[in-house]
Structure 1
Amino acid sequence: MLVLVYLYGQSFFIGPEVKSGLQYFKENFRDISGLSRDNVVDAGRWQKIVSETSISSVGIQSFKDNKIYKQGSGLILSSDGLIVTTYDNMPVNASGSQVFYGGKIYKPTILVRDYNRNLVLAKIVAEGLTVSRLDQSNSTQSGEELLIVGSVPFVSKPTIFSQIALLSYVTDREIVLDSTPNYYINGGKIVNGRSEVLGIVQIRSGKVTIVKSQDIDLLLKNYLNKGNH
């Protein structure tokens, strides 16, 4: 499986002969980024977080006019196939979508589209899936180093990616990250150095922001409280 790694302004694919993209970056950081060693994250720590969190990520593809229309990531909310992603990844005007996980491609059933929260709750027919945590951190602060982790379809196969982000600022209405708004990070999970999942990525007006875990949890609870599932 290829691994797409984006760190400090560079993105690159790593083949299976390399232990991991983050390890590769750590060993070749001067050639890749031109940064001093003091500015490079603890690659071993982040690699552990990528390993722990990527297994509950799915790749998303949506189509329109027989072409790929949207691509991004999502996360697993239940072992029997409930998943969540951004509305941007599965918009109502798409003709269809598919979900990539564990070497298989699934056709999702859309359960809830919440345009205001930019969320879609969907279901795939699967069992024994690894479920993502949803955490509420009370100690996030500007300048904190975070990691965007997800899975995106690449040549019809799910490809794990990771991208470093800094928490830029927090308001009552949004949490803004200092990170490049690459299209494939939409729906990727935001993880801090304590392995807490703070939410998923959305891109708004060129800014990388967070759909918070609290909003995802509320969407799921509202659906389940109506006697579904």
Structure 2
Amino acid sequence: MSKNILKILAVFIFGTAGGVFADRVLSPYFFPKQNPVYITERKEITNYIQENVALREVAEKAAKTVVAVKSKDKDGAILEGSGLIVTNDGFLVTLAELLPQGSNFAFYAGEKWPNYQVLKRDLKNNLALVKVEGQGLPTAGFADLENMKIGERVFLAGFDFSSTTPKIMVNDF
């Protein structure tokens, strides 16, 4: 019985040695090494955006950031114009000439007339900084003029005061 176990063990050892010899010595000689093949899957997606749709979406977004400014000066003259919301907590910029000292003002933003506080007037640059009541207001960014190219489309958003309630107006240039 022990002779049978030794024979089985010897066959196993010689078989293992023969397999290692065939794998390491004979296999590279008969089967040259092949470089691995890498497969890369590419998907190409093409989106077509119509210029007028994209411009309309941007104009609608920008129109929400425009505020109507109406004031009456000491002499009774009515001044009307627009301002731009620059922070979502209610800071806006408008022309200082629309907010002369000692006049009555009103701001129309988001279909309501919010409370306000004039924080600063810069008469040299004709700008005024105003804080209107509200949180989470839509804001507008400023374009990087260095990256603008000749021929790019621009638009201007402001308020039309021809009726009793100011209406937003957008012009494309």
Question: Is residue 63–residue 69 contact of structure 1 (8 Å, CA) maintained in 2?
Answer: yes
Question: Is residue 100–residue 157 contact of structure 1 (8 Å, CA) maintained in 2?
Answer: no
Supply the distance in 1 between the matched residues of 2:172 and 2:66 (Cα, whole angstroms). 17
- Is 1:149 paired with 2:166? no
- Is 1:62 paired with 2:88? no
Code of the aligned partner of 2:110:
G
Supply the distance in 2 between the matched residues of 1:133 and 1:105 (Cα, whole angstroms). 23
Q: Which has the higher helix share?
A: 2
Identity of aligned residues (%): 24
* Aligned pairs (5 A) from 1:1-229: 42-65=51-74, 67=76, 69-92=78-101, 95-165=103-173
* Compared CA separation, residues 87 and 70, structure 1 to 2 (3 A): same
Question: Is residue 59–residue 73 contact of structure 1 (8 Å, CA) maintained in 2?
Answer: yes
Q: Which residue does the alignment assign to 1:219?
A: none
CA deviation vs aligned residue, 1:130-172 (integer Å, no higher than 9, x gap): 122123231335554321112344534231111233xxxxxxx
Q: Which residue does the alignment assign to 1:217?
A: none
Q: Which residue does the alignment assign to 2:42?
A: none
Q: Which has the higher strand share?
A: 1
Quote the offset at 1:105 in angstroms. Answer: 0.8
Code of the aligned partner of 1:85:
T
CA deviation vs aligned residue, 1:43-63 (integer Å, no higher than 9, x gap): 433212211211111111011
TM-score (norm 2): 0.61
TM-score (norm 1): 0.47
Question: Is residue 88–residue 139 contact of structure 2 (8 Å, CA) maintained in 1?
Answer: yes
Question: Is residue 73–residue 100 contact of structure 2 (8 Å, CA) maintained in 1?
Answer: no
* Compared CA separation, residues 104 and 153, structure 1 to 2 (3 A): farther
* Compared CA separation, residues 152 and 121, structure 1 to 2 (3 A): farther
Code of the aligned partner of 1:49:
V
**Aligned residue-pair number:** 123
Supply the distance in 1 between the matched residues of 2:150 and 2:98 (Cα, whole angstroms). 28
Query: 2:97 aligns to what SS in structure 1?
Result: coil
Q: Which has the greater radius of gyration? A: 2
